[in-house]
């Protein structure tokens, strides 16, 4: 049973000097390919470098390149140039993480919107899919996306945690949906249990968002409290349970979906 983790923050400092061991545990757990998330220009450069350093085959590790809405205030002309250069690297398979976060508002909303539009324009220019972040900004994200959607090859709302109305609005716009260990959280994720049934095959992908969102259903829990791709199977189990699907079936169609979305190679 093969899994693809579409969202791994491997550049996070908590993984420093542990990359090889993390990858080995992931592979042992059936996670055959991963997409490393870029959340800043520097972080996107580091993600690409990690792919090149840790995967000499060029078959298992890929990355995204973008600026998280929390850091939208850092955007400048140099950011645009460096991001464009990064996105032309063969290993970079999506523009992002980008989007809107009206929950924490670490950057002013008008700036978040401007930077999102820059990312979407770049994705249209290079014909790359988009890796989206959204918190408390469903309606505004839709309004901006609609102007670009017909020209974009694909887009995924990563780490979806919203309500039914938001989910249906994204599906209506032909977006993909990424589900994380949020669904394993009995305190705040139970609303996702009936919703994951509504995501059609071919639009659903799985992600760890490691080192964040350690699945609360995981037993035994790691003492360091850090999530990693090796635990993606726990997300698989929870999603399969609420979709009333066999785990092997869910693994097969979410892996096929991720491979198609990011243009990843088939492995022997």
Under a CB-based contact definition with an 8 Å cutoff, are residues 102 and 140 in contact? Answer: yes
Closest CA to 142 of 104, 110, 173, 97: 173
Q: What is the pLDDT of residues 64-88, one digit of tens each?
A: 999 999 999 999 989 999 999 999 9
Please give the pLDDT value at position 1.
87
User: Which of 100, 74, 88, 156 lies closest to 126 in space, CA to CA?
Assistant: 88
Distance, in Å, from the CA atom of 4 to the CA atom of 40, rounded to the nearest integer, reads 23
**CB proximity list for 255: less than 8 A, separation 6 or greater:** 2, 3, 4, 32
CA distance 170 to 134: 11
193 in Cβ contact with 209 (< 8 Å) = no
Cβ neighbours, 10 Å, residue 59: 14
Claim: this prediction has a pTM higher than 0.75:
yes
Phi, psi of 77 (to 5 degrees): -60, -35
Cβ proximity of 57 and 85 under 8 Å: no
**Tens of pLDDT along the chain (268 residues)?**
899 999 999 999 999 999 999 999 999 999 999 999 999 999 999 999 999 999 999 999 999 999 999 999 999 989 999 999 999 999 999 999 999 999 989 999 999 999 999 999 999 999 999 999 999 999 999 999 999 999 999 999 999 999 999 999 999 999 999 999 999 999 999 999 999 999 999 999 999 999 999 999 999 999 899 999 999 999 999 999 999 999 999 999 999 999 999 999 998 7
Domains of the chain: 3-8+24-238+247-262 (3.20.20.140)
Name the residue with tokens 């950057």: 107
């Amino acid at each position: 049973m093969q899994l693809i983790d579409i969202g791994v923050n491997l550049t996070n400092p908590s993984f420093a000097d542990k990359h090889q061991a993390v990858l080995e545990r992931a592979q042992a757990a059936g996670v055959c390919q991963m997409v490393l998330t870029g959340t800043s220009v520097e972080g996107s450069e580091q993600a690409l470098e990690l792919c090149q350093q840790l995967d000499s085959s060029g078959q298992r590790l890929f990355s995204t390149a973008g600026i998280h809405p929390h850091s939208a205030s850092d955007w400048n002309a140099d950011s645009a140039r460096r991001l464009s250069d990064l996105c032309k690297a063969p290993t970079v398979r999506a523009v992002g993480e980008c989007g809107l976060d009206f929950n924490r508002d670490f950057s002013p909303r008008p700036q978040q919107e401007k930077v999102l539009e820059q990312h979407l324009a770049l994705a249209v220019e290079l014909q790359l899919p988009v890796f989206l972040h959204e918190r408390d900004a469903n309606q505004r994200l839709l309004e901006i996306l609609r102007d670009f959607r017909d020209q974009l090859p694909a887009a995924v709302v990563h780490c979806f945690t919203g309500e039914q109305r938001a989910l249906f609005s994204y599906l209506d716009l032909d977006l993909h949906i990424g589900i994380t260990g949020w669904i394993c959280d009995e305190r705040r994720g139970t609303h996702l249990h009936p919703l994951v049934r509504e995501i059609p095959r071919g639009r659903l992908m799985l992600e760890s968002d490691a080192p964040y969102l350690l699945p609360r259903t995981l037993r035994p829990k790691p003492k360091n409290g850090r999530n990693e791709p090796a635990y993606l199977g726990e997300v698989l189990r929870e999603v399969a349970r609420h979709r009333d699907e066999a785990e092997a079936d869910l693994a097969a169609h979410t892996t096929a979906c991720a491979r198609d979305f990011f243009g990843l190679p088939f492995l022997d």
